[in-house]
Structure 1
Amino acid sequence: MSELRSRALLARLVGFATVSRESNLALIEFVRDYLRDLGVVCELIYNPERTKANLLASIGPSVPDGVVLSGHTDVVPVDGQAWTVEPFCLSEAGGKLYGRGTADMKGYLASVLAAVPLFLASPLRRPLHLAFSYDEEVGCLGVRSLLEVLLQRIPQPALCLIGEPTRLQPVLAHKGKLAMRCHVKGAACHSAYAPYGVNAIEQAARLIGRLGEIGAALADPSLQDARFDPAYSTVQVGVIQGGTALNIVPADCRFDFEVRALPDFAPQVVAEQLQDFAERTLLPPMRAVQGDTSIRFEQLSAYPGLATSPDSAAAQLLARLCGSNAFSTVAFGTEGGLFHQAGVPTVVCGPGSMDQGHKPDEYVSVEQMAACDRLMDRLASYLCEPNDC
């Protein structure tokens, strides 16, 4: 077995099956009790049903220019995945620590928590704040109430470090996301009289075709940003449902689509263009057949992109902690855009790789965890320096 400061805590965190559809309270209460036993006061911010909670805690003086260490406690499901190890029991083989959430992102949380005794024993001149959220995997839902409380409770921080898996490489930017659902209400009839009905699936297909055209336009070279892969904003349809039988013209169809937007592109533009197409081109002939047909759009989730300047103080501090100024971007989204939008300078850096995240036999390497533990050591040293350093 590996000799890691953070290993025992990672095993405990992985043991909580905090799939987004389930409660995270057992994990959050474990973290609260762990911190409380060390003398750290925590605040839990519950969802309205009190089935889930965020956690906020601070160590050190109540002054500005502290550092927020932030991460989410939920994980994606294991349903239908061919795991060869128990997903909610940490195991080790070949220098790798296996379990759901090891990479995304309980490895980072374990490293943060394992360093708390060090932070407490250090003469901090700047504070450290812990901000753990719920329901990141289903639209960055919990962090919004966490941010509301954080902005009221703590002085302006100098940095928020989101510990999503980046192989501990410094990341300053990621795309934003808009997830939408489109409901098409047609008019059913016997398929022998199809022209007298309004086929909801066919209308949905026209909308999806229009989305394809909008997405192709976004790939224009003038709209690209070479820092990203893909280098442009993308549109895709992921779910579609409709129809009941082949001999019935379908009255209902719905589909879900998403926009992965470069930080300087407003994804709502795509939804507006699609709605305009629906109102101008599709609805008039639909309602000529039957007046109560409709096309309705519903937002499922959204979060902004992140674009922190490489010249910023936050970026330079990240480079110091990582030992590298080879700044990069990631294709996946994080809660970082919401922190940045709230006025907190934000960067992304954590152990492991998203190449392993969300997959069966997810893992983080022992080497990455040890390196993250050392990053926490460097952070503790930084927080002890005079504020004019």
Structure 2
Amino acid sequence: MLERTRAILADLIAYPTVSSDSNLDLIAYAADLLKQSGADIRISQDPDGRKANLFASLGPGVDGGIVLSGHSDVVPVEGQEWTSEPFALREADGLLYGRGTCDMKGFIAACLAVAPVFAARDLARPVHFAFTYDEEVGCLGARTLIADLAEAGIRPSGVIIGEPTEMRIIEGHKGCFEYTTHFTGSGGHASIPDAGVNAIEYAVSYITRLLELREPLKARSPEGSPFTPPWTTLQAGAIVGGPARNVVASDCRVDWEMRPVTSADADFVKAEMRAFVDQVLRPAMHAVDPATDIVTHVIGEVEGLEPASHSEALAIARELTGRNEADVVSFGTEAGLFQKAGISAVVCGPGSIAQAHKPDEFISLDQLDQCLGMLERLADKVSR
């Protein structure tokens, strides 16, 4: 089984499914393998038809199935120094190298390898495979997939998200809310800056106010918060604007994010920034030029995974892995979206998040073997 998984992983890595590009070839490949096991296939696409989710089902067509979920997209390799071709699997000393090996094509490969095992069993409840697009840029595919399942009346009861956790069970994580704020100013010559509205200067004021909210967010940290750090975080990741030093910039863009511990924190930040724009920044801009503006676009608002004392997914993961302890992490996954849709969720998969998004990303054969063991035990559990 491990060798079959390795071969499938090599095929998956060869598809350069960077989030900016199509994943259709990989989805077609995975769908073909699952069809060979007799799975029912559902495809849901993005609005442009360039990307797709795959949802495949084995077993009886009843409620209460278990979903094995992973995202098909990977982060870019540009600017990274790899010692081998990122989109060609390389093995050395028990490690498999390539973009996406741990995040998270290793888990997808294991699921595809074990599909014939599920197909050969007399399943008492369905097992579903969910492979999504655009997780890395806002969990866009998972939203489409979950909506498609609701419309079709497909009601699983639990999901295992196979993000790299070194097969530790993760019962909770922060949300990940991502935004782009555009500043439209009024350009002009730098010798008379007051005659224009410098979009960069207003962007700097916006960022300054945003980062001032860090302290009140620390004070709002819930007692006993298990996260590191225990409070909601804010970060400005990029600021882009202006053509030259002697030109009043007419355009600027700020990319920023927050990782809320609670939904109330997210509401607090959005309300504070909205008030700052409406009451301070925009009036000052309009006093010079009414055509100026500030507009914030939501890139993705991915809810966190809240630890639940009575979670079927958590109970199943404990049984399958033999681990009683469950942890929380600060990185985000699609798990919160499933949980919000009424599907209990847990994160547990092969590989280490420490390798994700880095050059020479790898997963160990031992981690893949542990994952295969978990999936084979799941086959035993859901069989009559």
Q: What's the counterpart of residue 90 of structure 2? A: 91
Q: What's the counterpart of residue 280 of structure 1? A: 279
1:54 corresponds to 2:50? no
**Match for 1:52: what amino acid?**
K
State the SS of the aligned residue for 1:115: helix
Q: What's the counterpart of residue 235 of structure 2? A: 236
Whole-angstrom distance in 2 between the partners of 1:216 and 1:319: 37
- Given that 1:178 and 1:268 are in contact with CA atoms closer than 8 Å, whether structure 2 keeps it comes out as no
Kindly state the Cα deviation for residue 153 of structure 1 after the two structures are TM-superposed: 4.1
Kindly state the Cα deviation for residue 271 of structure 1 after the two structures are TM-superposed: 2.5
Q: Deviations over 1:242-274 (max 9, x none)?
A: 222222222222211111111444524312211
Q: What's the counterpart of residue 37 of structure 2? A: 38
Q: Deviations over 1:22-55 (max 9, x none)?
A: 1111111111111222222312222232222111
Q: RMSD over aligned Cα, in angstroms?
A: 1.8
Q: What's the counterpart of residue 213 of structure 1? A: 212
Worse-matched range after superposition: 230-239 or 39-48: 39-48
1:289 corresponds to 2:288? yes
Whole-angstrom distance in 2 between the partners of 1:153 and 1:182: 36
Kindly state the Cα deviation for residue 194 of structure 1 after the two structures are TM-superposed: 2.3
Q: What's the counterpart of residue 269 of structure 1? A: 268
Q: State TM-score, norm by structure 2.
A: 0.95
State the SS of the aligned residue for 2:86: coil
Aligned residues: 384
CA change 1:76–1:225 in 2 (3 A) is farther
Kindly state the Cα deviation for residue 185 of structure 1 after the two structures are TM-superposed: 2.4
Q: What's the counterpart of residue 315 of structure 1? A: 314
Worse-matched range after superposition: 301-310 or 130-139: 301-310
Q: Deviations over 1:279-317 (max 9, x none)?
A: 212233332233323222221222111113134232211
- Given that 1:5 and 1:373 are in contact with CA atoms closer than 8 Å, whether structure 2 keeps it comes out as no
State the SS of the aligned residue for 1:240: strand
Task: Write out the 4+ residue segments of structure 1 that deviate beyond 6 Å after TM superposition.
Answer: none
State the SS of the aligned residue for 2:234: strand
Q: What's the counterpart of residue 80 of structure 2? A: 81
Kindly state the Cα deviation for residue 360 of structure 1 after the two structures are TM-superposed: 0.5
Whole-angstrom distance in 1 between the partners of 2:283 and 2:47: 42
Q: Deviations over 1:77-106 (max 9, x none)?
A: 111110001111111111111111110000
Q: What's the counterpart of residue 168 of structure 2? A: 169
**Match for 2:177: what amino acid?**
L
Q: How does 1:278-357 map to 2 (within 5 A)?
A: 278-357=277-356
State the SS of the aligned residue for 2:355: coil
Gaps of 5+ in 1: none
Whole-angstrom distance in 2 between the partners of 1:148 and 1:199: 42
Q: What's the counterpart of residue 255 of structure 2? A: 256
Whole-angstrom distance in 1 between the partners of 2:185 and 2:47: 36
Q: State TM-score, norm by structure 1.
A: 0.94
- Given that 2:217 and 2:265 are in contact with CA atoms closer than 8 Å, whether structure 1 keeps it comes out as no
Whole-angstrom distance in 2 between the partners of 1:157 and 1:41: 15
Q: Deviations over 1:64-87 (max 9, x none)?
A: 322111111111111111000111
State the SS of the aligned residue for 2:167: coil
Whole-angstrom distance in 2 between the partners of 1:245 and 1:314: 55
1:194 corresponds to 2:187? no
CA change 1:215–1:224 in 2 (3 A) is farther
Whole-angstrom distance in 1 between the partners of 2:356 and 2:362: 8
Worse-matched range after superposition: 154-163 or 56-65: 154-163
Gaps of 5+ in 2: none
Whole-angstrom distance in 2 between the partners of 1:5 and 1:249: 60
Q: What's the counterpart of residue 63 of structure 1? A: 62
State the SS of the aligned residue for 2:240: strand
1:366 corresponds to 2:365? yes
Q: What's the counterpart of residue 101 of structure 2? A: 102
Percent identity at matched positions?
Answer: 44
Q: Deviations over 1:215-256 (max 9, x none)?
A: 222112644653111211111111111222222222222211
**Match for 1:259: what amino acid?**
M
**Match for 1:97: what amino acid?**
L
- Given that 1:42 and 1:55 are in contact with CA atoms closer than 8 Å, whether structure 2 keeps it comes out as yes
CA change 1:339–1:294 in 2 (3 A) is same
